[in-house]
Amino acid sequence: MTSTVAHQIMWNRLISIVEEQAQALVRTAFSTSVREAGDLSAGVYDAAGRMLAQAVTGTPGHVNAMADAVPHFIRCIGADTMRPGDVYLTNDPWLGTGHLHDITVCSPAFYQDRLVGFFACTAHVTDIGGRGFGADADSVFEEGLHLPIMRFAAAGQVDATLVQIVRSNVREPDQLIGDLHALATCNDIGQRRLVDMLAEFTLTDLDGVSDFILDHSRQATLDRIAALPRGRADGHMRIDGYARPVDLRVSVTFADDHVACDWTGTSGPDPKGINVPMVYTKAYSCYALKCAIAPDIPNNAASLEPFRISAPENTIVNALHPAPVALRHVIGHLLPDTIFAALDQLLPDTVPAEGAGCLCNFQMSVRPRSDAPAPDGARRAEVLVFNSGGTGARPTLDGMNATAFPSGVMTMPVEATEQVGPVVIWRKELRPDSGGAGRYRGGLGQVMDVGPRDGHEMDLSAMFDRVDHPARGRRDGGDGAPTTVALGDGTPLRGKGRHLITHGSRACMAFPGGAGYGSAADRDPADVRRDLALGYVTPAAAKADYGLSDDDIAAVLAAVRRGDQG
């Protein structure tokens, strides 16, 4: 009989294996969204398709959604037809991770001619055809190439016909096919490490360690839930939507053996591509609850099981096929803040104030200028940029500047963005005064100016929220600054949709700040002076929001001029 200590070592080994799997994907992927921003996930599953471990590297929208994906592969492919060297894929929004731009790849793992489990990974690809990455489609059919659950490779032989079809339907064929091979390769690395582990511990399958992981995770999560106060609370958030505002409404209930999260009362589906399949709603709802209740219990099928998520069909958080869903993250990333509004009533002094929420993404479709002859060497390119606003202040800490929560996706460096296409990032810096005032200040957003290189023009697909509905403060904290989008001449642009940026012009964007926590009157004056010295707040805000005296402001600015910020 394998000991508890050995099982724990194997559990840790599996977590290490999937982290290596994820890092292999980062190092081999072609898309900047993966290798620079980390928009990916990786996990290992038992033979029944239950997720046993996930990589730390990655985003909850992929991992928690992917937890439900492998059983779909088993059902559609058939376990009895699977062979060593097989690789399966899909980008079905309702069976994968919520939109066509995420491709999930699943590979069966064999040991001693026996199917012992599965490895799966997901990556966001820069282009999947159709209208391109944006909110403007009227149905999922316009949003790109749909890949049903199917074989990418059979017994090690890649399907050449599938590759031809994919290459013929996307704008960046080399990049996408490269990403598919990277996804398959990282699963293969996971399989090799798993075989090494089984041999080392003289096991023939994962059954014993699977039971250990799932039983202990389930019980640990149930113990946390049992310690919670019984009760129910409601949360509400109004956000920008596309052409009209969207109301997110949630009810959270703490029961004896589970936590229920019900989205009844939320707005109906939108005509444009901001709708959310249920699999993605479940992913970010579970993540929010787990952050507050059981953050240190590893993510797997059993630790997610006690969180029960429901939403009426044909709402914006349970959109049905063929609803357009390309920007499902814009809504999905705001679900945790809505849940936190309810949790703040049940678990005071636990959850942060509202933050920017959704990523401040935009895609640039660049081409030679059309209003005059383009220079030799002008070219087309699809350039996807990941950016973040500020997070909300926490009960005992300031919010984080330019940090993606809840997605965890990294902000992309300027150099990597300019390398992949003919674009110029003229300005990228923190946005002073964007963090909401409070005892603990909200995190700062960013200011970013971009445009096409000489001889080019581009369409910018904006994917922003918090334009009309900025992050709200908690416990008398101040609101964060809203998103603004405009042309270089000051002409305002919509927060979502496609905008032409002509040769010689640029888009000027200010991303939202997180909200404050607690009254600004209670902020330590030393923290205000530090914020002023670092440029996080301006002298006007230090005086108006925090009451810093003219003498204090003058002293801080004089110290900065002397180079003394201590």
Residue 59 lies in a domain: yes
Complete edge-to-edge strand list for the sheet that includes strand 259-262? 231-239, 246-254, 259-262, 307-310
What is the arithmetic mean of pLDDT over 307-322? 98
Residue 305 lies in a domain: no
3-state DSSP helix/strand/coil % of the chain, to nearest 5: 30, 20, 45
Residues 427 and 544 in one domain: no
Residues 395 and 515 in one domain: yes
pLDDT tens figures, 116-131: 999 999 999 999 999 9
CB 235 within 8 A of CB 252: yes
If phi over 0 gives left and psi between -120 and 50 gives alpha, with beta otherwise, what is residue 58?
Answer: left
What is the arithmetic mean of pLDDT over 287-291? 96
Residues 492 and 549 in one domain: no
pLDDT of residue 565: 55
Domain that holds residue 381: 352-520
CB 386 within 8 A of CB 411: yes
Residues 551 and 460 in one domain: no
pLDDT tens figures, 58-87: 888 887 888 889 999 999 999 999 999 999
pTM across the whole model = 0.96
- Residue 269, pLDDT above cutoff 90: yes
Nearest CA-CA partner of 339 in 357, 323, 321: 357
The residue among 520, 535, 558 that closes a domain is 520
Phi and psi of 253, rounded to 5°? -125, 130
pLDDT of residue 205: 95
Residues 516 and 528 in one domain: no
What is the arithmetic mean of pLDDT over 280-298? 96
Residue 402 lies in a domain: yes
Return mean pLDDT, the chain.
96
Residues 97 and 155 in one domain: yes
pLDDT tens figures, 484-495: 999 999 999 999
Residues 434 and 542 in one domain: no
Residue 236 lies in a domain: no
pLDDT of residue 66: 84
Q: Which amino acid is at 356?
A: A
Residue 255 lies in a domain: no
Residue 245 lies in a domain: no
Residues 389 and 455 in one domain: yes
Residues 80 and 214 in one domain: yes
pLDDT of residue 566: 53
What is the arithmetic mean of pLDDT over 233-239? 98
Residues 135 and 11 in one domain: yes
Residue 515 lies in a domain: yes
CA gap 218, 528 in Å, rounded: 44
Q: Are strands 423-430 and 446-452 parallel, antiparallel or unpaired?
A: antiparallel
Residues 81 and 180 in one domain: yes
Q: Assign 563 a pLDDT band (cuts: 50, 70, 90).
A: confident
Residues 143 and 120 in one domain: yes
pLDDT tens figures, 452-511: 999 999 999 999 999 999 999 999 999 999 999 999 999 999 999 999 999 999 999 999
Q: 251 in helix, strand or coil? A: strand
Residue 242 lies in a domain: no
The residue among 178, 200, 218 that closes a domain is 218
- Residue 30, pLDDT above cutoff 60: yes
* Number of structural domains the chain divides into: 3
pLDDT tens figures, 364-375: 999 999 999 999
